[in-house]
Each structure stands twice: as C-alpha cells, then as structure tokens.
Chains A and B, each alone.
Chain A
Amino acid sequence: MTDNNGIVLKMENITKIFPGVIALEDVSIELYKGEVLGILGENGAGKSTLIKILAGNYIKDSGSIYVDGQKFEIKSPSEAMASGIRVIYQELNTLNNLSVAENIFIGEQLVKGPFKIVDWKAMTKKAGEILGSLNVALDPNSVIGDLSISEKQIVEIAKAISKDAKILVMDEPTAALSEEETQSLFKIIATLKSRGVSIIYISHRLKEIFQITDRVVVLRDGKKVESIKTKDTNANELVTLMVGRDIKEMYPKREVPIGNTVMEVKNLTADGFKDISFKLKKGEILGIFGLLGSGRTSLVKALFGANKVKSGEILINGKKVDIKSPKMARDEKIGLVPLDRKVEGLALHLGVKENITLANIEDLGKGFLIKKQLENKKAQMWIEEMGIKTPTMDQEVNSLSGGNQQKVVLAKWLESGSKIIILNEPTRGIDVGAKIEIYKLMQNLCEKGSAVIMISSELPEILSIADRILVMSKGKMTAEYSRKEASEENLLQSACI
C-alpha cells in the first residue's frame, strides 16, 4: 500500500502498564486504507493489549490515537465502534440462541412504523445481502448455535461490516479453523480489502502472515521491534525478530532419561472425546496438540476427575484407579495447572501463601488448626524454589504478573506432592522471560522423577519442549509423533482431520 491512500489509523507512543508488567512500551503503528497489517509476536508480546486499547477495553496510560487524522480518545468499546473500529475476538461473542440475522443487527434492529416494531423481513433480506456480498451462502434464519466456529466467525464479520467498519481487527481468526475454512476466510478478507476496509490481522502462524498481509509489525516484550513490508522479509527473519533470541535459548531442552510408565489411559471416553489411549512415562513431557474444540481440555479434566468418565480406564503405576473428583486426583498425586488460571487455578483475593498451600491444607498442622510457622516456612520455600517474584508472601495473588501467578499454581501442586503434572496451555498470556522459566521448571520436575502432560496450541513451544506429541481432533486421537518426527505441517494436518 502506498502513502497516498492515506493513513486510517495511527497509534502513537502507546504505553500500558499493569502491576508488575509493562505490557506495552512506546508502541507506534500506522494502518493504511485497504491494507492488511499483520501483527506478530509471541504470547505476552503485547498484541492483545494493543488490540484491547484500540477496542476500548483497556485505557492506555499514555500515547495518542488518531482515526482519519483526528485525535481520538477511546474510553469505551462503544466509542471504538462508533468510530468504525471492530474487533473479532478469538472467543466469539455471538448470541447462540438467536438467528444469524438477529446477530448481525443486534443492538440496531431494523424497525418500521410509528411504534418501531422490529422489521423481521427487512432484517432477513438485508442480512442475506450482506452475506451475499461476502460470497457466502448462509441462511440468515439459521440459529447461531447450530453453526460451526468458522460460520460464526463469518457472522461476526458480517455484523462488523453491517455497521460500516473501517478498521477490522481479527485476533487469531484461524486458531480453530481447518485449512479449507482458512482459505475461505482469506477470500472474505480479500473482498473486504478491495472495498477499502483496513484489516489488522493477528496471528503467529507465519504461513498465513505471508499469504494475506501487506505489511507486518513485530512486537516483542511489549515493544515494537520492526515494521516491514511482507514481501521484503522472510520467515527466518520474522522468527528471529519475534523471539529476539536464539531458538535454543528460547526453548531450553534438556535430555532426561525416560523411565517406567506412570500413567496409562485405556480407551477413555467422556463428554467431548472418545476412545483415547496413551501411556505417560516417568521423566517425560508428553505434549497434546489440538485446535479449539478438539477435546483436549475435556480430556485433561476427565483425567483430573472434574469431568465424568463414561468408559475406559486409567492406571497409575500399573494400578487401576477410579478418579471421581479433583480431590481423588490430588490424592493420586495428580496436579492440574488449568487453562484459565484466574478462574480455575487461583483464589485471586487470597495471598500468595494461601494459594501455595491451597491443595494441601490438611498438611498445615496435625489437628484442626493451621500451624502458622509451618505454613510460612512452606510458602517461603516454594517462593524461593520457583523464583516467584512477590513483595511478601501475604501479597494478594491478583496483583502478581501472569508468569508469577502461573508459578504459584505450579507450586500449589508441588506442595501437595504431585508426581504427574498436567499443564493446560501453561504459557498463555505470560511474558517471554517467564515462559522460559516455566519450561525450565517443567524440566526440573522431570529430572526429579515426575511426569508432565502439556497441552499447547503453540507450535514452536510444543515442538521444542515435548518428548512425544499426541494430536487430537474432534474428540479423537489422530496421531502420535516422537520429537524427531513432529513438524508444524504434520501436527496441523493431523489436527484438522
């Protein structure tokens, strides 16, 4: 794109600070009319913070934003929308009980007559026109809940353009899409582009970046490291820019001798997955890869007793176990570092100390009472051992950075003596430095004789850290790869079966 097309959006010297983390530091980006701008960066690089500021969900600490050359303070999502900025999040915001047409016109239903009665006919017709203009055949009357994730996404896009979006932000739009669905999304993006809509496209899939974007901005640790035309760069250069260090340093991998089988799962079936079998060995990091909706989270919840198992069996150290609750899983020395640590992992308004001992309150004293000194000693030990950065052990865990919160969750399970640690997306939303620490901690555990199951949708991570990778798709296990066999291509392929 050339300058004479004009700058639609300019974000200048944007800074946003959270307790313990500088999420964005002095980041400036420009977006031209009809351009697809890729924003690239590791988890925790600041991509989502930048988007949330643009969408009005976060308020920047400093810097300025210009839309069409006009300085513009975005204070709320509705203000962002009013100025033509639309964000399509990874977790879609569709209303599942309503129809496609209703979703497209939500909040601004078409009305007729003096009493402003909803004009269903006009809405259906107009929705059909919008969908048609995107070259998609989708019935405006179908109920959203029955649609696939990619179709829901299309509805979100239709909703955005029905309100004359000038700037469309897409946050990891292909995370849950198959190859075919991805290609049809790209066709829609091309259509929008030809109409002069500017698109910010966030992804960490390099292949897509090269296929769809005109220009790329790379963020790392909250700073902008490069802005470059896509045709002037290559994958290697982008990876180096993104990671900012040697890939070996980013994903430290130590060889740990693999021991006996500690956990065996045979034909396990529950809600969300079917007929899963695998073995987990001492000292091993077993990766599970799958797209959104592949059943990976249901699987680990079932292993942990939080999802009801319908059939199949689990053996721990060769002994059949019947895990009916997280309490029983804990007693079998299984620990779960869950997907959403704030909702499932931590009591946010309690202190670091209380969270570390949360899964092992029973051992805080002999009788009914808590022995405070014992608890302090335990907490102190884990804070040092895990390198948790906190002013005091009584600090509310809420105010810690994501990486330190994750260490607290991990410490909780180590304190309860877990030997099998299941981590669901352990490095989601934490900065690069903390990620490396988490990887190192995982390997320390393996060296000490534990076994680790790691679910990850981040390809470079799972490829570098896991000893063995299972791939899930639509609730079934579709492949198993050793570290040597696995590659980005075959993992994605097996995940889209």
Chain B
Amino acid sequence: MPEIKASSVEPGKKAKISNTGILFIVLVVLFALFSYVGRPFFFSTLNLVPMLNNLSFIGIIAAVLTMVMVSGDIDFSIGGNIGLTACLVALLLSKGLPGWLVVIIALCGGAIMGAFNGFLATVIGVNSIIATIGTMFIWRGIGYTLSNGESMLAMNPVIDYIGRGFLFKVIPFPIVIFIVVFVITYVIMNLSKWGRRIYAIGTNPMASYLSGINVKKVKFVGFLLCGITASLGGLILTSLSAVGMPQHGQGLELVIISGIVLGGTALGGGKGQILGTLAGILILSVLYNFLTIMNVYYFYIQIVQGSVLVLVVATYEIRQSRALKRV
C-alpha cells in the first residue's frame, strides 16, 4: 500500500504544495473560459493592458503586504496611504515642483507612514489591526485636508510615465514595476535569510525571539516597505487617472487583503506564498474584468467576488482539517 505510506510520511505537505498549484490551474481555466465566452474583446490588448495596469498597483502592494501578513501582522492603512500620496503628488505638482522630486517626496512620505505603523506595532506594541485601522483614517483625513476634498489635476512628464509610459516602447511601465516587485519579494521570501526570519516569526514569534532573531526589527522593516510600496501604488494610480484625489484607493485594502487570503496566506501568520498572492489577485482581477465587460450589474459582481473568497477560504480550511486528521 504505497499510497498510504506516502501520505503518512508527509502530512500537510501535499496540501500545501497543491494549494498554489490549484489556484494557477483555476486561473488558467478561468482565463481560457473567459477568453472563449467573452470573445473577441476579453482576449485583446485593448482589454488586457488596462486590466494589467490596474492590477499592477494592487499587485505590488499585495506582494509586500504578504510579507507583513506572513510575519503575523497586517496593514489596513494602505488605501489611506494611496489617497494621501495622490493628493500630495497633485499638490506638489501644482506648486511647480519637478516630477522626479515629487516622486522622491511621495516615496519618502510612504516610508514615514510605514515607519509610523511599524513604530506603533512594534515599539509601542499596539495590535497592528487596530493601529493601521487608526492610521488608515488619519492618512485619508490628511489627504482630504491637503486637497480640500477636491480632485486636482496631476500631469507631468515623469508622473505620466509611471502609469502610462512604455518601456522599450512596448511594455507598459506599471507592468515593469509589477514584475520587478514580484521578483524581489519572491527572492526575499523564498531564498533569503531575511525571508526565513519572516516565516519563523510568523510561525512562532516567541521561539524566534528566544533564538536570537530581532523580531521587532524584521516586523518594522515589513511595515516600512509596505508604506513605501503603497505610496508607489498611489503614484501609479495618480498617473493612470491623471488626477490626485483623496478618494483614491478607498476600500482597496479589503480587495488586496482578499486577494492575499485567496492566495493562501493565513491571517495568523507563518503561512503564505508570494506566488499564491500573485494567483489570488490575478483571479480576482480576471473575474472582475470579465464580469464587467459582460455587463454584469455591479451589485452582482460584488456578490460573486465575495462568494469566491468565502468559497476558496472554506476549501482551505476543509483541506487543512483533512490533512490534520491523517496524522
């Protein structure tokens, strides 16, 4: 009975490998199905390029937030960060600052926001759910203050390029950013010493601390990077829309976290893969895009998106408890 032996040797391992695998299979099937049903528009550059552009700023934030979530924390303030960054960018441009300087200031602003979250969560020790829900309101409130609640035009050659430029005249620049961020986060999480520390902390912060890992430092850096990436996302969104307004990114935190959780990251930390997150947000985007171009009523789209999330996470739980029973 070789099969029984295999499963008894590696309980849980089998389920872990195939969760991400299954997601990619689902993605390919959905994509093929949508291309057929939604032909000819769905599978065309006219549809796919805007979809990928929109995906890019969600995706980079999701990738970095995955690191934060694997280490056992969460950041709800990303949407507020986007709104604040968008207003800041538009405001600075309106004052006549050069585009490259605005980009640097925006990213520094993101770093400050991330560092503040990290400070609250690690130095002070506020639960990161509470801390970042608080800062979410603060960031957005500052955005409203900066912009007086109005949308401002944000046009500048450098800013325009970030969201609407093309590398080598063919590859949309947001997609370049998207790929670069995913490769970097993949290398960090899967191949680096630092990534190992993140997984160790998420699995057992106490044992990690007692093994000489600087838990607070690793967590702090996670928040810092998440802040920077969210403001980069804010830059892309501002560029794509050519407008900076405080409502930018509203509700996006839940979409991004849904994608991450869909990709198999556990809320408690310790579990999650960058590739899983990639699959998770791709599935959500493809689904949303398809339903939209099929003229499905927006109300129904929300129901579908929510159902998919609940269904997939329920499946994880069932698979998990089955894997446990085998022990």
Q: Which A residues have a C-beta under 8 Å from some C-beta of B?
A: 19, 304, 306, 325-327, 329-331, 336, 338, 343-350, 354, 357-359, 361-362, 364-365, 368-370, 391-392, 394-396, 399, 412, 416
Contact = CB atoms under 8 A, between A and B. Distances in A.
B211 A330 contact: yes
A348 B210 contact: no
Interface string B6-18: 0001111100000
B214 interface: yes
A70 B260 CA distance: 52
Interface in B208-235: 208-214
For chain B, give the interface size range: 20 to 34
B199 A350 contact: yes
A343 B204 contact: yes
Interface of B: 9-13, 187, 191-194, 196-197, 199-200, 203-204, 206-214, 270-271, 327
13 contacts: A325-B214, A326-B211, A330-B212, A343-B204, A343-B206, A348-B203, A350-B203, A357-B196, A358-B207, A361-B197, A364-B193, A370-B191, A395-B9
Contacts of B213: 327, 358, 361
Q: 10 shortest A-B CB distances, which residue pairs?
A: A330-B212, A347-B203, A359-B211, A327-B212, A347-B204, A358-B211, A361-B193, A391-B9, A349-B203, A347-B200
Nearest to B206: A344
A349 B270 CA distance: 8
A114 to B, nearest CB: 41
Given A348-B203, A350-B200, A338 B210 contact: yes
Given A349-B203, A391-B10, 20 more contacts: A325-B212, A325-B214, A327-B212, A330-B212, A347-B199, A347-B203, A349-B270, A350-B199, A350-B203, A357-B196, A358-B208, A359-B211, A361-B197, A361-B213, A368-B192, A370-B192, A392-B9, A395-B10, A399-B11, A416-B212
Contacts of B197: 361
B192 A369 contact: yes
A304 B210 contact: yes
Contacts of A326: 209-212
A306 B212 contact: no
Contact of B196 (A19, A331, A354): A354
B201 to A, nearest CB: 9
Nearest to A362: B193
Contact of A345 (B191, B192, B207): B207
A306 B199 CA distance: 21
B271 A349 contact: yes
A304 B212 CA distance: 10
B191 A19 contact: no
A361 B199 CA distance: 12
A399 B211 contact: no
A391 B7 CA distance: 12
- Interface hub of A306, A346, A370 (most chain B Cβ within 10 A): A370
Contacts of B208: 347, 358
A369 B193 contact: yes
A345 B212 CA distance: 11
A368 B187 CA distance: 10
Given A365-B193, A370-B191, A329 B204 contact: no
Contact of A327 (B191, B196, B204, B214): B214
B200 A358 contact: yes
A362 B214 CA distance: 12
A358 B199 CA distance: 11
B207 A344 contact: yes
Contacts of B191: 369-370
Contact of B204 (A19, A346, A364, A368): A346
